[in-house]
Chains A and B, each alone.
Chain A
Amino acid sequence: MEWYWAFAFLLGMIIFMMAIGVPVAIAFLTTNIIGWLYFTGWDPDSILQVVDNSTILITRFTLGPVPMFILMGSIFFHTGLAIRVFDGLDALFGRLPGRLCFLTVAGGAIFSTLTGSSMANTAMLGSLMVPEMQRRGYNKRMSMGPILGTGGLAMIIPPSALGVLLASIASIDVGRLLIAGLLPGFTLAGLYAGMIALQLWWNPKGAPAYDVEPIPWSGKLKLVCTNILPMSFVVFMVVGFIIFGWATPTEAAAIGVFAVMILATAFGVLTTKAVVTSVDGTIRVAAMVFFILMNSTVFSQLLAYSGASAGMIEWATGFDVHRLMVLLVMFFVLLLLGMFMDATSMMLITVPIFFPLAGHLGFDLVWFGLFVLMTIEMAGTTPPFGLLLYVMIGVAPKGTTLFQVASAAFPFLVCDTILILILVWQPGLALWLPSLM
């Protein structure tokens, strides 16, 4: 079979099943079974290979950070430590125009260093900030935009569970990819703050200033010391341990859970209920990820076995176009897929195709991994089906339309694009920290 028919057959089967609502993991499993049978001349023993490979692929120590990062974020939220960070930041901003928008970006960036979930970030920031913003007379654009932008930061700022997943599927170094997101993540937070300032300059009534009770400097210092600085201890335990090579990403993730539990104990908020709820949430999300992973990685092998991967790379590199043009095409394909699929699904479909191609074109795969994460983050806020848009609608006031949410997100998508251009121009922004490891 020609590579393009094999490609169309396998991808078509996955997309068809996904379209009729078959869970992503089962869509991959079914395609693997049919695909391996077909390409081995209907040899039933080929399915034994599917079982063997699936088992080997998810029993890798490098996948350990997935449940650990999710557990760490869950405990952080369920114990109420997240709210304490917010209270600390709130005291620092004073009577600043658009203070709640800036608070969202600062809080979201800090949350991102402590959790790996965009959904949790957006839901938390949305439910916490939108009612307050509405009460203070902020318009919908100013109240929802920063939340949508900042919510996605969790995907690129370590610890990112999605980053671990991407690194595992693409067979790149988990630690290097996680650390690569640190500087670009904070640069993006800076761009978001700049965008808010620009929007305020354009329309000051969008986020009116209001009086806040003045807090003396000693009070502010105390809040910073009690509510914000201790969290940096957790961040250091995770990011620092990885950068300095004191622990593997899996070990650093478990140490991160340990650090959050110590903090929660110190603040007297670690309850059995919080731990049980966090563990239960963790098994739901992590088991789902592992179930998908065990099937999707076999799919990559199937693509290679059928000749589809090699044929596609040969075809794509046969054109006399600059590699940045190929990157641009991949960017738009990811954005297009993001209109219909969630982050995990689009990652599983594109990684077996895009990463070999990117490697062939000479892109650094850690850099490319970050590019994919950035684009997936953007796709999450792309209408009509970007998942974060729906999370936002879920927590926004009744009557909020998809159009209002999407248009509020637009300026922040521009910031994302600017960061991607900066990364293309200066790859060192992402690759400098991993080079120290």
Chain B
Amino acid sequence: MKGLIAAYNGLIQYMRIAAGILVFLVFILIVVDVLVRLVGLKPWSASVMVVEYALLWFAMLASPYLVRAKGHVFIDALTTLMAPGPRLVVEKVAYTICIVSSLIFCWYSYSVLHTAIVEGTLDVRAVDIPLWVLILPLPISFFLVAVEFGRYLIGVDTMYTDRTETRENV
């Protein structure tokens, strides 16, 4: 069991690292694209599409880590006013909603993925790419997001930190 947990934690961290690398590659790709254009050469025709795909992939790869790192925006104006008992109940309800919704999305995105693979659907952009490439991270990430909320539900940790703690935001 310990090995499984370690492997799972490793997966979340590797996905986080992959998301970071992807963001950095997007930065490099765009800069190279602009520089190539400025010197009068023809930029890579697929660069816009790659950036668009990378935006979805990086968000999905980072999403389980985001739950683990308590990086989601939530409103605790009401729950902080509650007594510890009812507050705990409300927190558990909130986690349950998160798990159920994530699993539903996971299931239906898997369904879209399956159809895309079976029917060989193409995503028509600057360059045609099989649709499954775009959809692939959705069921995996949403499943892991559900697992992460599950950790909170069974009491491994709590998502609700102190309000005065500065949370990163836009």
Contact = CB atoms under 8 A, between A and B. Distances in A.
Nearest to A247: B34
A47 B73 CA distance: 24
B76 A291 contact: no
B33 A18 contact: no
Interface string B88-122: 00110110011011101100110110000000000
A130 interface: no
A55 B105 CA distance: 12
A52 B75 contact: no
B66 A288 contact: yes
Nearest to B30: A254
A152 to B, nearest CB: 13
Nearest to B106: A51
Given A247-B34, A283-B58, A161 B170 contact: yes
Contacts of B165: 394
A344 B170 contact: yes
Contact of B170 (A52, A60, A162): A162
Nearest to A123: B166
Given A282-B23, A287-B19, A33 B51 contact: no
A387 B169 CA distance: 10
Nearest to A119: B169
Nearest to B57: A59
A24 B27 contact: no
Interface in A40-85: 47-48, 50-52, 55, 58-61, 63-64, 66-68, 70-71
Contact of B34 (A25, A59, A255, A290): A255
A23 B72 contact: yes
A288 B24 contact: no
Contacts of A161: 170
Contacts of A251: 30, 33-34
Interface in A181-216: none
Interface stretch (A95-103, A335-343, A411-419): A335-343
A71 B166 contact: no
Contact of A26 (B75, B77, B101): B101
A47 B104 contact: yes
B51 A20 contact: no
Interface in A211-269: 247, 250-251, 254-255, 257-258
Contacts of B20: 276, 279-280, 282-283
A190 to B, nearest CB: 25
Interface in A1-40: 17-26, 29-30, 33
A285 interface: yes
Instruction: Say which size band chain A's interface belongs to.
Output: 35 or more
Contacts of B105: 29, 33, 47, 50-51
Interface string B154-170: 00000110011111111
A52 B101 contact: no
A276 B21 CA distance: 10
A97 to B, nearest CB: 31
Nearest to B16: A283
A286 interface: yes
Interface in A295-354: 340-345
Interface in B19-63: 19-20, 23-24, 26-27, 30-31, 33-34, 48, 51-53, 55-56, 58-59, 62-63
Contacts of A29: 101-102, 105
B56 to A, nearest CB: 5
A70 B135 CA distance: 26
Contacts of B62: 283-284, 287
B75 A345 contact: yes
Given A33-B105, A287-B66, A23 B31 contact: no
A292 interface: yes
Contact of B77 (A59, A284, A385): A385
A64 B169 contact: no
Residue among A60, A66, A284 with the most chain B CB within 10 A? A284
Nearest to A66: B170
Residue among B31, B53, B159, B168 with the most chain A CB within 10 A? B168
A343 B20 CA distance: 25
B24 A279 contact: yes
Contacts of A294: 59
Contacts of B109: 51
Given A51-B109, A285-B169, A292-B73, A67 B101 contact: no
Contacts of A286: 23, 58-59
Contacts of A59: 52-53, 55-56, 134
A103 B66 CA distance: 36
A59 to B, nearest CB: 4
A23 B53 CA distance: 25
A376 B101 CA distance: 29
A382 interface: no
B112 A51 contact: yes
Given A61-B48, A117-B170, A55 B135 contact: yes
Contact of A117 (B63, B134, B169): B169
Given A26-B101, A64-B30, A162-B170, 5 more contacts: A25-B73, A59-B56, A67-B55, A283-B19, A283-B65
- A-B pairs with the 5 shortest C-beta distances? A290-B59, A287-B62, A23-B72, A254-B30, A59-B52
14 contacts: A21-B75, A21-B76, A21-B79, A26-B72, A33-B101, A47-B108, A68-B26, A119-B166, A254-B30, A279-B23, A284-B62, A291-B59, A343-B169, A344-B170
